[in-house]
Amino acid sequence: MTGYAPPIRRLIRELNRFPGIGEKTATRLAQFILKSPEENAKRLAESIIEVKKKIRFCSTCFNLTEDALCEICSDPARENGIICVVENPDSLIAIEESGSYSGTYHVLHGVLSPADGIGPGSLRLTELMERISENTVKEVFLATNPSVQGESTALLIMKLLRDKDIRVTRIGLGIPVGGDLKYVDKMTMAKAIEFRRGI
Amino acid sequence: MIKRPIYEASAFVLSFLDYGESDRIVTFFTDKYGKIKGIAKGARRSKKRFANAIELFSHSRILFSRNRKDSLFLIENSDVIDHYPKIREDLEKTMAASYIIELAAHFTAEGKKSKKTFSLLKDFFEFLDRKKFTEESLRFFELRLIKLSGYEPVLEVCVACNTPLDEIKAPRFSATDGGIVCVECSRQRPGSLPVSVGTLKMLLMGKEMEMEKIHRLNLSKQSSRESKAILESFIPFILGKELKSVRVLKEIKRLMV
Ligand SMILES: [Zn+2]
Ligand SMILES: [Zn+2]
């Protein structure tokens, strides 16, 4: 990398920060940007800034949104008596794409991970409990991943809800142990939602 | 293509880090090679090569190779032997297992093999999977792991003057000295903690006992409290830091009451 002019080196270093992008790929991307018309480079830079400036968390469900409320929370057709609890926006998108869920969501933005120091306080749990105590919620559908961390997070939420008169369900069969909802195909997902089981 | 040698081992997943789009960098504790670190390419996507075995504290058989010296191992394949379903369906047990693997990760060094440490992990997870969980069982695991790592605390005599336990009236535990001290010697050790003779005898006994029988040891409230206190001061002293899972476990406990 030493042979490159400092601005190119800086760009390579920035691109190198992306997940899964090694130095070689970063160099290739930098060269592509260097060769492309200024217009394109500008558009790329602007959309990066735009995402950072405009995207924020939905004040109700913590999904990513441009407005105070996300599209799902502001849609009157969605059943707000059901909250589907997911780890991250990727899981939410995977469930939405299956087209078989019509309730609302709650994005935790993480799961319990003791060795990483991630406990209940690092998740959006207080906000979830507040939503639930508002009384209109009939079902909490736990759709954290079937990994050790996802399962223990579901167990924790279940314990927090044990004294409340609420149906608690867990995403159904078909999703393998240790799997990630992000990689589940639409058919399997639709089945896993349909056959969610009471716990 | 040059064929690389393939190694095989029985392994526990101590930790992992998601990397890139679907890879996972995994730290295993193996029976034959001790602690090793490797990359499992496509681990989050491939059901065939990894069969979902790269899960925290799960026990699997792994196949791995090495490209060149000093790089990560390449995990070629892993097959689950035991996921410990009874641990996974219980929050308390899962949290205990999470603590155990963090502890094991800190008390072992990469590439240093120890069949005994592997057996200790295996025995403990089987115990946790089959028996009722007790907080005290963690103390016996901690003591054994510390012993295997060469930091066994001295509980039979005063570490400073060698007075035997039976002759010490009010023994105290000094983390900085790695053992108990007598009344006289404890005067110069303001950080030492009181611990009863009964607790010390229980710990000495439990240290040698088979894991299977551990749940039969009935610790009094006092012994339970004292042994927790001394290990809570000794472990961070050896490691030079507090384990992250300790703080998280406390947070969860507070939430549950
Ligand atoms: Zn929303
Ligand atoms: Zn002494």
8 A C-beta contact, residue B209 and residue B137: no
Across residues A114-127, what is the average pLDDT?
93
pLDDT (average), residues B160-189: 94
Name the closest residue on chain B to residue A153, using Cα atoms: B91
When CB atoms are compared, the residue of B83, B91, B251 closest to A119 is: B251
Global pTM reads: 0.86
Q: Where are the domains of chain B?
A: 7-84, 134-256
CATH number for domain B7-84, candidates 3.20.20.60, 3.90.850.10, 2.40.50.140, 3.40.50.970:
2.40.50.140
User: Which residue from B103, B116, B127 is spatially nearest to B31, judged by alpha carbons?
Assistant: B116
Instruction: Kindly report the average pLDDT of chain B as a whole number.
Output: 90
Residue-wise over B85-102: b if at least 16 C-beta within 10 A, else e? eebbebbbbbbbbbbbbb
The region that residue B150 occupies, defined by phi over 0 for left and psi between -120 and 50 for alpha, beta otherwise, is: left
Q: What interface predicted TM-score (ipTM) does this complex get?
A: 0.90
Q: Rounded to a whole number, what is the distance in Å from the CA of B50 to chain A's nearest CA?
A: 10
B7-84 and B134-256 agree in CATH topology = no
pLDDT digits (tens, 9 = 90+) for B200-247: 998 888 877 777 777 777 788 999 999 999 999 999 999 999 999 999
Does residue A117 belong to the interface with chain B, where contact is any CB pair within 8 Å?
yes
CATH 3.40.1360.10 fits A77-172, yes or no: yes
Q: Domain segments of chain A: what residues?
A: 6-54, 77-172
pLDDT of B184: 93
Average pLDDT over residues B110-125: 93
Among A31-45, A124-138, B201-215, the least confident range? B201-215
Asked if the model's pLDDT at residue A174 lies above 70, the reply is no
CA of B163 to the centre of ligand 1 (A): 67
Distance A60 CA to ligand 1 centre (A): 5
* Ranges A153-157, B46-50, B57-61, B109-113: which has the least confidence: B46-50
The pLDDT assigned to A65 comes to 94
Q: B45 to chain A nearest CA, in Å?
A: 7
Provide the CATH topology of domain B134-256. de novo design (two linked rop proteins) (1.20.1440)
CB contact under 8 A, A117 and B247: yes
What's the A104 CA to ligand 1 centre distance in angstroms?
7
Among candidate residues A54, A44, A50, the one with its CA nearest the CA of residue A14:
A44
C-beta of residue B37 within 8 angstroms of C-beta of residue B29: no
* Nearest ligand atom owner, CA of B183: 2
pLDDT at B52 (0 to 100): 65
Ligand number, closest to the Cα atom of B154: 2
Q: Check pLDDT > 60 for residue B124.
A: yes
B52 torsion bin: left (phi>0), alpha (psi -120 to 50), beta (else): left
CA distance A75 to chain B (A): 32
Residue type, A98: S
**Smallest CA–CA distance from B54 into chain A, residue:** A178
Q: Are residues B47 and A176, on separate chains, in Cβ contact within 8 Å?
A: yes
Flag whether pLDDT at B25 surpasses 60.
yes
Q: What confidence score (pLDDT) does residue A86 get?
A: 97
What average pLDDT score do residues A166-171 get? Answer: 92
Of A20, A148, A156, Cβ closest to residue B56: A148
Give the Å distance between the CA of A75 and the centre of ligand 1. 9
C-alpha–C-alpha distance, residues B38 and B72, integer Å: 5
Q: What is the least distance, in Å, from the CA of A70 to any CA of chain B?
A: 26
Looking at the partner chain, which of A115, A177, A178 has a beta carbon nearest the beta carbon of B245? A115
Ligand 1 centre and the CA of A74: distance in Å? Answer: 7
To the nearest 10 degrees (0 to 180), the angle between helices B221-239 and B197-208 is 70
- In chain A, the residue whose alpha carbon lies closest to the alpha carbon of B104 is A115
Query: Looking at residue B240, what is its pLDDT?
Result: 94
Beta-carbon count within 10 A of A55 CB? 10
CATH 3.30.470.20 fits A6-54, yes or no: no
Confidence band of A1 (pLDDT split at 50, 70, 90): low
> What DSSP line would sit under chain A, residue for residue?
-TTS-HHHHHHHHHHTTSTT--HHHHHHHHHHHHHS-HHHHHHHHHHHHHHHHH-EE-TTT--EESSSS-TTTT-TTSEEEEEEEESSHHHHHHHHHHT---EEEEE-SS--BGGGTB-GGGTTHHHHHHHHHTS---EEEE---SSHHHHHHHHHHHHHTTTSS-EEEE--TTSPTT--GGG--HHHHHHHHHT-EE-
pLDDT digit string, tens, across residues A61-117:
999 999 999 999 999 999 989 999 999 999 999 999 999 999 999 999 999 999 999
